[in-house]
Every structure is written in structure tokens, then in C-alpha cells.
């Protein structure tokens, strides 16, 4: 879809009938299942990938279903604006899902309109509950194809309560920039092992080297087939997610603990420095990816499946990294479902968890050591407010001001306090980054 001024491009309509129009009904059904699962709650989309209707699809169809669902999530507000102009009254959710899936294909993925309309009508026909609406589905989609979708607003894709918060914090222009980057599928970022030639990797994956050494590529598909994967040269990690470990400045021979470590990108960074690393996480299942990446890259860490605040080991460390559980609203580029799954009450609930974890992390820092706290949240209660309150409770710690250029962060991310507030709209010309709050705190000897 285009911006507010022009509205989305009209779908490309092809008149000839084609056998391809009759292919992919099951993939479209799966897309609707994934979409609704994502709208129902946090983690719903990932869980739905195991549903029979999705898991039984061939690889390309399964990938297509996920791509359609993600496109619909990113542009849901705009899609519903288009539909609401053409519907006299709200249809059942199952019918709206069929329409949403079809418009995500034509308006975002540029699927030929005849194929999207044909499969949408077939989906409506196959279920007794939606069959009475098949003519409505056909008429709405053909009407959009004939007349164009009309003007839409990028801000409509954001939940109203979040849009209001972000406008209050970053102003109208800041909200508009966030809304625009939220619509686009992000590139893939790679963190490299020390000694691996970033320029060579960028050439191999048709990408570019970002500040800090991250390689960004627009390549799609199974990363396991990309050059350098089997050799363990790199792992997938958003450029912003790589900043906290760099700010911690790990050194060979140091003892470091990564609290709440899964899925493990930061642990790999720490291990690659030559430090002795302990990685804790409460979720044994989420640590499986870390184990696999450690084996693939030839790096090592002591991995423990236990909640950070419950770990009975009395060791202290030269450096502690706490990537705390949070609303994850800063990851909306990669995980658009998080915007719909997060509720206002979640902010306060998770802020309480972060408070406890910060105090537990502080107790693990040796005198003269350092602590980096980060969250992939856009909410001040989970970032700035946490550190302000922590420093009041813990006079033994002080802020160590960040230097963005040294850790691969956007220059404009630096706050007056010396912390980093990375917004997804930063580096917009490069495709944006995940939203993060990062602060380094040194313990006075």
C-alpha cells in the first residue's frame, strides 16, 4: 500500500482465466488461520504454525500462507478501512478474514487479482457459515479491483492506545514515522563471528555492512541455505539487538552472565569475545535454538534453564547482561502481531517483573563490574523509568554514558542521560531497526 497521500495501488487485474487461480485455496485458508491466531493473543501465530491446516502444507505453500498473514497484520488497519467503506454492516469474522486475506494478497503482495478473488470465493463456498456471503466476497473484491482502494492512513495500522502513547512521547511526526516503518517487511540482519570478513559476507548474501559490523540483506528464504551458515560464520540478529552486548564491552577471560538469554544472539556475541559465559533462561524450549547455534558456530557457554531470580548459584561476574522480558513493542517490524497482542495492563505487569530482575542482576555484579539493561520495548515504563528508579535504589551504580558510533547504534538514539533509545524509524533509509532501550551501569569499586 502507498502512503496517506496516494492510497494503496489498485490491484493488478488480469482478465484471462488461468489454472493458477484454482490453486492455493488451502494456503489461503492457512493464512486466515494464522492471521486470526495472531490477533487472538501473544504467541498465537507461532502456535498456529503447528496446526494441521498449516503444517501439512508443502514448504512453499506454508511460506506463502505465513507471508500473507504477516502482510495482513502489517496493514490490518488500512485493509479494514477499505472494507468498511464497502460493507453496509459488519459480516461474520470468518467472512472478514477471507476478505482480509484476499486484500493482503492484491494490495501488498501484488498477487494477480483474478487469483485472489477466485480463491476467496472458493473459500467462502466451502464453509456452510460463509457460503451465503460468497456473492458479497466477490462483489467487494471486484469493486476494489475496479475502483481502487482509495485513501488510507498508515497510523490506522497501530492500535489506538499505542498510537496515543507514542504520539504523546514522540510527537505527531514521530508517530507518523513509526507508522510508516511498521508497514514494511524488514530485511534480515546477520551478526558475524570475530575474524569473519563482513564485506565478503555482504557480497555473498547481496547485502550491505551497517555501522557496528552487522550485515543486512534483503534476501528471502531459508537462511540455512545461505553462504556461511553451515560454516558458522554468522547468526541472525537484528542490528539493534546487537547493540547491548557491544555496550557491555566483553573481554577475553572475563566472567559474564547473560540473564534471560533465549533465543541467544547476545550470548553468542559474548562467547565470541573469549569471555567465560553463563546463559540463563527460564524456558528450556527457547534455549534449544541457542544450543543449536553454539554447536554450529563452534562457540561455548554454560547454559542453564532456570528463572534468573531463582538461580541458587552464588557466583558474581565481571559483567552482567539483562535483556528483560517486556512487551516487545519495539519488534513490530518483524513481529507485527505484538501490537495486537499487547494490552495496556501488560506494561505495568512487566515493569514489575523488570524491577525484580534488575535488583537480582545487580547482586551478580562484582565491585568494579558493569551491568547492561535492555528491553525491546517502546514504553518508557519499561526503559527510562526502570533505570531512574534503579539508580535511586542502588547508589553503588552509576550510568556509563554510551557512544553510539562505538556500538553500532544510530547517533540520534543517545539520550541526555547517556542511555540509548533506539526507535524503529531510525535508519529509515536503510529499512529501520528494532526498537530498544539500552543502558550501561557501572558498579563503583
Task: Report the catalytic residues.
Answer: 376
Phi first, then psi: give them for residue 271, nearest 5 degrees: -65, -35
- Closest by Cα among 344, 338, 435 to 160: 344
Instruction: Copy the grid coordinates of residue 64.
Output: 506463502
Spatial CA neighbour of 153 closest among 85, 87, 255: 85
Longest CA pairwise span in the chain (Å)? 76
The residues near 322 (Cβ < 8 Å, ≥ 6 apart) are 259, 260, 308, 357, 358, 361, 371, 372, 373, 374
Amino acid at each position: 500500500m502507498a502512503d496517506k497521500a496516494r492510497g494503496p495501488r489498485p490491484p493488478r487485474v488480469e482478465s484471462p482465466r488461468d489454472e493458477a487461480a484454482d490453486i492455493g485455496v488451502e494456503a489461503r485458508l492457512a493464512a486466515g488461520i494464522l492471521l486470526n491466531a495472531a490477533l487472538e493473543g501473544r504467541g498465537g501465530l507461532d502456535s498456529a504454525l503447528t496446526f494441521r491446516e498449516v503444517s501439512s502444507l508443502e514448504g512453499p505453500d506454508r511460506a506463502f500462507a505465513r507471508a500473507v498473514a504477516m502482510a495482513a497484520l502489517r496493514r490490518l488497519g488500512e485493509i479494514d478501512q477499505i472494507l468498511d467503506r464497502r460493507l453496509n454492516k459488519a459480516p461474520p469474522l470468518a467472512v472478514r478474514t477471507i476478505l482480509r486475506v484476499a486484500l493482503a494478497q492484491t494490495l501488498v503482495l501484488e498477487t494477480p487479482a483474478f487469483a485472489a478473488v477466485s480463491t476467496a470465493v472458493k473459500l467462502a463456498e466451502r464453509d456452510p457459515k460463509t457460503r451465503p456471503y460468497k456473492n458479497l466476497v466477490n462483489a467487494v473484491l471486484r469493486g476494489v479491483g475496479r475502483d481502487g482502494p482509495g485513501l488510507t492512513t498508515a497510523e490506522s495500522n497501530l492500535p489506538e492506545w499505542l498510537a496515543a502513547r507514542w504520539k504523546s512521547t514522540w510527537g505527531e511526526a514521530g508517530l507518523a514515522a513509526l507508522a510508516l516503518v511498521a508497514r514494511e517487511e524488514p530485511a534480515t540482519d546477520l551478526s558475524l563471528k570475530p575474524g569473519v570478513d563482513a564485506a565478503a559476507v555482504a557480497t555473498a548474501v547481496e547485502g550491505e555492512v551497517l555501522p557496528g559490523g552487522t550485515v543486512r540483506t534483503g534476501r528471502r528464504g531459508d537462511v540455512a541455505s545461505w553462504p556461511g551458515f553451515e560454516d558458522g560464520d554468522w547468526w541472525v540478529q537484528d542490528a539493534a539487538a546487537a547493540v547491548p552486548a557491544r555496550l557491555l564491552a566483553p573481554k577475553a577471560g572475563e566472567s559474564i552472565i547473560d540473564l534471560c538469554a533465549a533465543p541467544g544472539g547476545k550470548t553468542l556475541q559474548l562467547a565470541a569475545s573469549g569471555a567465560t559465559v553463563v546463559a540463563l533462561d527460564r524456558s528450556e524450549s527457547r534455549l534449544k535454538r541457542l544450543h543449536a547455534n553454539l554447536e554450529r558456530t563452534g562457540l561455548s557457554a554454560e547454559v542453564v534453564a532456570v528463572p534468573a531470580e531463582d538461580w541458587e548459584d552464588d557466583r558474581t561476574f565481571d559483567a552482567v547482561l539483562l535483556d528483560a522480558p517486556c512487551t516487545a513493542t519495539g519488534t513490530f517490524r518483524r513481529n507485527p502481531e505484538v501490537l495486537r497482542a499487547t494490552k495496556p495492563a501488560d506494561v505495568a505487569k512487566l515493569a514489575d517483573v523488570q524491577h525484580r530482575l534488575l535488583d537480582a542482576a545487580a547482586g551478580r555484579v562484582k565491585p568494579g563490574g558493569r551491568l547492561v539493561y535492555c528491553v525491546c520495548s517502546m514504553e518508557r515504563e519499561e526503559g527510562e523509568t526502570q533505570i531512574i528508579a534503579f539508580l535511586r535504589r542502588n547508589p553503588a551504580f552509576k550510568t556509563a554514558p554510551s557512544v553510539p558510533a562505538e556500538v553500532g547504534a544510530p547517533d540520534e538514539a543517545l539520550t541526555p542521560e547517556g542511555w540509548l533509545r533506539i526507535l524503529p524509524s531510525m535508519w529509515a533509509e536503510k529499512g529501520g531497526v528494532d526498537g530498544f532501550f539500552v543502558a550501561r551501569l557501572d558498579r563503583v569499586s
